Structure 1
């Protein structure tokens, strides 16, 4: 018997709850996964529910296109969500057809609001099974307005390559305190060392049981997310400022390099995670709960890192819901926030100091346009061009002006999308 046949309705209901929350609001996915009810599921059910929810979200656009072709009129959203999960069971998780259809019909029957549609669920899913849809067409994998933006920004070929990464399950990337510790544990972690020092592994399971976790020698951090802190090139004893620091991977990098780090973020809850990781790794930093734009502190720092709040469209590999939570108006609104934060970061950079600005966004208004506007507002800053391959960034990500546009397809196995610019203040 296929293992997914042995997993019952509670796991599928949990997957439905997770997917519904993810599509309802930004950060809904993380909130749903943190709920006590989800955590109370047996480990196997919890793993299945997460795989089903994420598998559905990663192919949501293509699944909806296949469903629309078989629906005479749009059903209630709750019914569509059940159909989405049924299609993902059959074509993504490879659940046996009768189990994918039967459990979806059971989900519909269990809710008075969707019960009248259980016949529709049965008919639509059986129709899909007779004529399997293409769920890997890149243009169908994300909202059309976003794909159009990527095509305008990067060209048709690159836009298709970016979108083609959406359905891929990402590996786990780890940053180590020292290269020696990475070399020691790579075999046990079944990992490979990427340019820059990130260790990538396809290992699965509870992180706390992995080699080195209890010793505090590594933390989880996407390969792209590890690049900006390396580009600051901090030296032992330098004063470094990490703005919008939570959840803290970059703070840990700067502290591991020997800097005297101050980490600022307005979210006390997210900073708790940073403090926990500092304690686990034995690293130290001053942690400040404050809004960066009006933080009342007159200090200036040798090195300043601003990972600004953004649309986060570059993080879709691990958070596929961001593609569906984003709205065109969000990008313009967030661009205004980023400009204010950049001005605050500039004021906190000492003469002769370095400032690195980054966003995990694929949108030019949050990246290239911000850097250009910043230089126009601050003539005492100039770009400090990044060299090819510096910081472990793929050479394909280097722009002619010496900034980085890291795209998800530029690294084998994928990476988060980022924009990174490095500035130096005149002395």
Structure 2
């Protein structure tokens, strides 16, 4: 079980789910969610399927005749998230414990061992519970049941040797293709810092309608210099005070910056292109602007509308493709373009295993078309904020440079550090926003961690 050193490339399109014959009607307590976690992990890594889709598919498998309840789904998700976040570490550690390597034709054995090690090393699951579930899961898979004794021995050794799991390689948990890109773009030191940040547990950030300090105190959080509230603990979101009342919504502190940079004012005509799931639209609505939310997916806009309803905010919605959308000129436009999302890997660790380098080329071409359309929809003197949650320069800095070459009527409107909580390191020489996962979210005291984001503010010359 050598560590993963190649881009996933979606090498195997075969089924990776559970293959056992129908088990007894009732599985032992806690086993179903671990089986689902192993199947979902395999699906993400081997088939390039997104985490949410893989988990939904695994949780709905016929062997779980009643499906997984909310608690088991949450545990399964936690197991898969940490398994993906620390996949290189887990594979390398397990490889040291398997003297003869992973047996061939061993079914789900690898994935069961990985989720078992993840529970023991990173989730504080009692050793005996994780080991017992591991052996039971192996015995339920016809292709791996002959290795139950091996699984038992390896799982017990994971617990015994837990202090020896870390590696000196800063990129052990980063797909090689991304590590190489980040070293080239940001240099060795910054790239290693990004990789380290992506391995850390992620706090929950909120955007509040008003009284950030009051909500921070009530929810046991801190107000970041950027204005977001960062929570110290973890509680199911729907159970938190203020959720049902629409007092706040979940939004990473970096993701909350672009809408603020647009400087929308009451009465202005403002468009949010690619609007779903709606966090940035909600911010724009709070300014008193007349907001039109555009998204190509009617289904996403339905969920978007439900979010706005909870928040007691209103916006006009239109189902349309941002590359061909037509309307009367707007005073301001926010374009949060589709991207590879490599800046969000600390929250969505499946990104590194579901994206490929070729996706950057495809998405960059789409972003260019969207930018051209957005620029054409601005009135003279109108403002455009373009943003992506990617840390790849082709999807950020290079896009703006190319737009300005194509369109002499557009110019940068530089961003000042004071607009983003004084985060000097997050503004580049061109006055564009560039946050990295390793950047601090607050200057004093330091509360590190932001999603990687790019944003540029532009103006159409009068």
Contact kept, 8 Å, 1:26 with 1:322, in 2: the verdict is no
Residue 190 of structure 1 corresponds to 220
1:155 pairs with 2:187: yes
1:140 pairs with 2:175: no
Residue 8 of structure 1 corresponds to 30
Deviates more, 1:334-343 or 1:164-173: 164-173
Q: 1:202 aligns with which of 232, 237, 244?
A: 232
Write out aligned runs for 1:21-420 (5 A).
21-24=43-46, 28-34=50-56, 37=60, 40-69=67-96, 70=98, 72-73=100-101, 75=104, 78-131=108-161, 132-134=164-166, 137-178=169-210, 180=211, 182-295=212-325, 297-392=326-421, 394-411=423-440, 412-420=447-455
Superposed displacement of residue 185, structure 1: 2.3
Equivalents in 1 of 2:330, 2:272: separation in Å?
Answer: 10
Q: 1:355 to 1:288 in 2, by over 3 A?
A: same
CA deviation digits over 1:175-209, x for unaligned, max 9?
1123x3x3332221111111232111134233222
Contact kept, 8 Å, 1:171 with 1:413, in 2: the verdict is no
Contact kept, 8 Å, 1:185 with 1:211, in 2: the verdict is no
**Structure 2 regions of 5+ residues with no counterpart?**
1-27, 441-446
Contact kept, 8 Å, 2:50 with 2:354, in 1: the verdict is no
Deviates more, 1:65-74 or 1:302-311: 65-74
Equivalents in 2 of 1:7, 1:399: separation in Å?
Answer: 53
Q: 1:104 to 1:231 in 2, by over 3 A?
A: same
Equivalents in 1 of 2:56, 2:283: separation in Å?
Answer: 27
**Alignment partner of 2:327: what SS?**
coil
Contact kept, 8 Å, 2:396 with 2:455, in 1: the verdict is yes
Superposed displacement of residue 110, structure 1: 0.4
Equivalents in 2 of 1:389, 1:269: separation in Å?
Answer: 38
Q: 1:20 aligns with which of 27, 30, 42?
A: 42
Superposed displacement of residue 44, structure 1: 4.0
CA deviation digits over 1:102-125, x for unaligned, max 9?
321221110112223334433444
Superposed displacement of residue 43, structure 1: 4.5
Superposed displacement of residue 136, structure 1: 7.8
Q: 1:82 to 1:167 in 2, by over 3 A?
A: same
Contact kept, 8 Å, 1:398 with 1:405, in 2: the verdict is yes
Deviates more, 1:346-355 or 1:117-126: 117-126
Deviates more, 1:267-276 or 1:98-107: 98-107
What RMSD, in angstroms, separates the aligned Cα atoms of the two structures?
A: 2.2
Contact kept, 8 Å, 1:234 with 1:303, in 2: the verdict is yes
Equivalents in 2 of 1:348, 1:46: separation in Å?
Answer: 44
Residue 3 of structure 1 corresponds to none
Superposed displacement of residue 129, structure 1: 4.4
Aligned residues between the structures = 419
**Alignment partner of 1:338: what SS?**
helix
**Alignment partner of 2:198: what SS?**
coil
**Alignment partner of 1:292: what SS?**
coil
CA deviation digits over 1:252-308, x for unaligned, max 9?
00011111111111112221221011111111111111111122x231111111111
**Alignment partner of 1:168: what SS?**
coil
Superposed displacement of residue 391, structure 1: 3.2
Superposed displacement of residue 224, structure 1: 0.4
TM-score, normalised with respect to structure 2: 0.85
Equivalents in 2 of 1:147, 1:406: separation in Å?
Answer: 17
**Alignment partner of 2:235: what SS?**
coil
**Alignment partner of 1:353: what SS?**
strand
CA deviation digits over 1:209-241, x for unaligned, max 9?
211112212111110000000000111011111
**Alignment partner of 1:165: what SS?**
helix
CA deviation digits over 1:7-63, x for unaligned, max 9?
531121122233234335556312245567499534443333222121111101221
Contact kept, 8 Å, 1:22 with 1:29, in 2: the verdict is yes
**Alignment partner of 2:194: what SS?**
helix
**Alignment partner of 1:17: what SS?**
helix
**Alignment partner of 2:411: what SS?**
strand
Q: 1:127 to 1:187 in 2, by over 3 A?
A: closer
Equivalents in 2 of 1:320, 1:393: separation in Å?
Answer: 29
Equivalents in 1 of 2:224, 2:51: separation in Å?
Answer: 29
